[in-house]
Amino acid sequence: MHVGDDTFWSIGEAARTTGLSVKLIRHWSDIGVVHPAGRTSAGYRVYGTEALARLQLARTLRELGLGLATIKDVLEREQTLAEVAAAHVDALEAQMRTLRSQQAVLRTAIRRDTTAEGFTTMTELARMSAAERRTVIHDFVTETLGELDVPTYRRGLLAAAPELPADPTDEQVDAWIELGELVRDPALRAGMRRMARYAAEHRPGEHDERVLAEAERATDEWLQRVEEAMGEGIAADSPAADPVVAAVVAIWIPTQAVASAKSVEFTTSATSVKALADGAGARRLLLEQLEVVADPHVERYWQLLCVINGRPVRPSMVAAGQWLMTALRANPAPGARAAQLGEMYDAEDAAWEPAGVLDACERVLDAVDVLVSAVQPDQFDRPTPCAGWDVRTLLDHLVWENLLWAGLAGGSPRADVTADHLGDDHVAAFRAAAQGARAAFGRPGMLDRRYGPAPGRRLVEQLVIEMLVHGWDLAQAIGHRHDAVHDLAESALPVVREIYGELPRTAAGSFGPPQPVSEDASALGRLAAYLGRSVQDPG
C-alpha cells in the first residue's frame, strides 16, 4: 500500500517480511513494542518502514534473551543499545556460571551415585551466592565454638571463608559441595572444639608467624621420617618404631621451646617445656598434641578451603599421624617395648619346645601352600577380612612375611615391603619364599641365637602366627576349608595374648580390636577374632 511517498504493509505482509507470526506482531502492537502507522478504512492495522525496523530489532533482541520491557526501553531510546548489550552480557555470564555450577552438580551426583535427598542438598549448595557461602561458614563457626573464649582461633576460622572464583573448576565446585556437607558433621565440630580449647589453654594470644613457620617446618620433617618408616614396612606397634619416635621427638622439642618463649605460662602438668627431653613425659605430651591436631575431619576442612580458594593443598598427615600416635602408645618411653618383649622372650613358657616350633612352622606353611595353590587369578580382586586388602594383596603379604622373617634370621633384613612379590606366578612366589624361610630357620644354632631381644625360636614363632591368621583370612576370602592347623592355633593363642595383649588396637596398628566370637568357635576362629577379625562361622 502506498500513500504519497510512504509505503505501508498489512499485518500479514509485515509478518512475511520479518519472519514473525501475525499473532506475535498483534501482541507486540498491543503492548507498545511496535506502533502501527494507522489503520485501513476497514479497521486493519498497517505498518510503516520504521515499524518494520523496530520489529526486526525486537526480534533480534528477543532471540538474545532480553525481556520485552528492556526491548521497549531500547526501542524508545530510554536506554542505548550499547547499555543494554553490556547489561545483557553480564546477565549471560551469570547464567553461564549457574549452568556450569549445575553441570558440576550433575557430574558430582553421577560420581557419588547420590540419593534424591543428597542431590537436592548438593543443588542448594551449588546455587549459593558468595554472601550465602560466607554465612554458612559464619554460622558453623558460631555454633561450633559457642561460648568458648577463643578470639584468635575464632577470627582465624572466620577469615578463611570459601571464595569460589567467577568461573570455578569442577574440582572447586565439588570441594564446596563437600565442605557444605562436612560442616554439618558433628565429628568436625567436636574436632574444632578440641583444637580451640587446646589453643586457648596452651597458645593464648595472637599467632606469631615465626612460631607457625617453625611448626610447619618441623611437621614436614617428622612427616618425612614417619612416611619413610611406613614405606620400609616398620610396624608402628613394634620396637622397631622406637628409633623413629625418638627422631620425631628430637624434631618436635625445639618447637615447644619456641612456643614457650612466646608464652611463659605454657606448661603441662607433667613437664616444663624448658626441661623437655625424650622420655615418658615428652612422649605423653607429644601424643596429647597429636590427638588434638591430627583430626581427619579438621584436616579435610582445611584441604577443601584451599581447593575452593585456589591455594596449594598440604599433603595429608592423617596416615602418618595415626602411625605416630600408635608408635607413641606402643613405645611410651625409650626402650620400653623392647624391654617388655625381652622379659617375655626370656620366659621359658613358650608354646612349643625349640624343635617343636620348627615342626609347627612346617605344618602351617604346608597348609597355607594348599590355600595359595587353590587361588585362581580371577579371584585376585575379591575382598578379604583384612580391611582394604584384596586376595592379591593378601597373597603378596604372605610371600612378604616369609621373606621378612627369613631375612631377619639370615642377618639381612628386607626393606622392600612395597615391592610386588608375586610376579606372574603367585604359587611359585609363595613356595620360593617359604622354602627360603625353612632354610633360614634350619641353620644350626638359629633357634638359640639372639636377634635383638628375641631368641631365634621367637622369630619362627612369629611366622607361625602370621601364617595362621593370614591363612584364615585367605581361606575365608576364597571359601576354602582350612582345618589342618586348629591345634597349632590352640597352642598359639596364649602366646598371641601375651605378646599383643597390651598393644594399641588402632587403625595404624598391626591388628584391630578383638571381636566377639561364639563359644563353640574353633581355636583358629578364636585366634582370628582376637586379632580383629569378624568371625561368623564357628568352624
Q: What does each C-alpha distance from 215 to 193, 253, 254, 303, 385 come to in angstroms?
A: 21, 11, 9, 18, 39
Least trusted range by pLDDT, from 78-87, 355-364, 412-421, 447-456: 78-87
Q: What digits encode the pLDDT tens for the residues 498-530?
A: 888 888 888 888 888 899 988 888 899 999 999
Residue 266: is its pLDDT beyond 50?
Answer: no
Distance of alpha carbon 403 from alpha carbon 397, whole angstroms: 10
Residue 267: is its pLDDT beyond 50?
Answer: no
Grid cell, residue 280, equals 615418658
Band of the pLDDT at 537, cuts 50, 70, 90?
low
255/235 same-domain check: yes
Segment (H or E) for 46: strand 45-47
Q: Is residue 452 part of a domain?
A: yes
Q: Is residue 368 part of a domain?
A: yes
Q: Which residues contact 402 (CB under 8 A, 6 or more apart)?
A: 365, 430, 433, 434, 436, 437, 463
Q: What is the pLDDT of residue 118?
A: 64
Q: What digits encode the pLDDT tens for the residues 164-177?
A: 787 778 788 888 88
347/476 same-domain check: yes
Segment (H or E) for 6: strand 6-7
Give me the number of domains the chain comprises. 3
**Mean pLDDT, the chain, integer:** 84
Q: Is residue 495 part of a domain?
A: yes
Q: Is residue 91 part of a domain?
A: no
CATH of residue 62's domain is 1.10.1660.10
Distance of alpha carbon 189 from alpha carbon 171, whole angstroms: 24
491/394 same-domain check: yes
Q: What digits encode the pLDDT tens for the residues 308-362?
A: 999 999 888 889 999 999 999 999 999 998 888 888 777 655 667 666 899 999 9
Convert 200-209 to b/e letters by CB count within 10 Å (16 or more is b). Answer: eebbbeeebe
Q: Which residues contact 237 (CB under 8 A, 6 or more apart)?
A: 326, 327, 329, 330, 337, 503, 504, 509, 510
356/285 same-domain check: no
Give the three-state DSSP class for 19: coil
Distance of alpha carbon 508 from alpha carbon 324, whole angstroms: 8
Give the three-state DSSP class for 536: coil
43/16 same-domain check: yes
What's the DSSP call for residue 390?
Answer: B
Q: Residue type at 63?
A: E
Most trustworthy range by pLDDT among 16-30, 84-98, 258-272, 351-365 = 16-30
What is the phi-psi region of residue 233: left when phi exceeds 0, alpha when psi lies from -120 to 50, beta otherwise? left
Band of the pLDDT at 463, cuts 50, 70, 90?
very high
CA 338 to mean position of chain CA atoms: 33
431/474 same-domain check: yes
Q: Which residues contact 156 (CB under 8 A, 6 or more apart)?
A: 207
Grid cell, residue 66, equals 532480553
Higher pLDDT, 481 or 249: 249
Grid cell, residue 28, equals 507486540
DSSP tally for the chain: helices H, then strands E: 22, 7
Q: Tell me how far apart the terminal alpha carbons of the chain are, to the nearest angstrom.
A: 102
Got the DSSP string for 48-94?
-HHHHHHHHHHHHHHHTT--HHHHHHHHTTSS-HHHHHHHHHHHHHH
| Final residue before a domain boundary, out of 281, 306, 330 | 330
CA 42 to mean position of chain CA atoms: 79
Contact 410, 440 (CB under 8 A): yes
216/257 same-domain check: yes
Distance of alpha carbon 55 from alpha carbon 194, whole angstroms: 68
Distance of alpha carbon 423 from alpha carbon 35, whole angstroms: 84
Q: Is residue 189 part of a domain?
A: no
Q: Is the dihedral of CA 198, 202, 204, 206 positive or negative?
A: negative
List the domain range (segments joined by +) for residue 24.
2-79
| Final residue before a domain boundary, out of 55, 79, 103 | 79
Q: What is the pLDDT of residue 111?
A: 65
Closest CA to 155 of 168, 172, 142, 174: 142
Q: What beta strand segments (E) does 401-507 contain?
A: 450-451, 454-455
Band of the pLDDT at 255, cuts 50, 70, 90?
confident
Contact 534, 512 (CB under 8 A): no
Contact 305, 162 (CB under 8 A): yes
- Please name the residue that has the C-alpha cell 602418618: 320
Closest CA to 177 of 136, 99, 123: 123
Q: What is the pLDDT of residue 343?
A: 81
326/346 same-domain check: no
26/45 same-domain check: yes
Q: Is residue 86 part of a domain?
A: no
468/357 same-domain check: yes
378/320 same-domain check: no
Question: In this prediction, what percent of the chain has a pLDDT beyond 70?
Answer: 83
| φ, ψ (nearest 5 deg) of residue 38 | 165, -165
Higher pLDDT, 215 or 478: 478
- Please name the residue that has the C-alpha cell 505501508: 8
72/15 same-domain check: yes
| Final residue before a domain boundary, out of 330, 354, 386 | 330
Grid cell, residue 211, equals 612460631
Q: For strands 6-7 and 2-3, give the pairing.
A: antiparallel
Q: Is residue 177 part of a domain?
A: no
What is the phi-psi region of residue 148: left when phi exceeds 0, alpha when psi lies from -120 to 50, beta otherwise? beta
Q: Is residue 196 part of a domain?
A: no
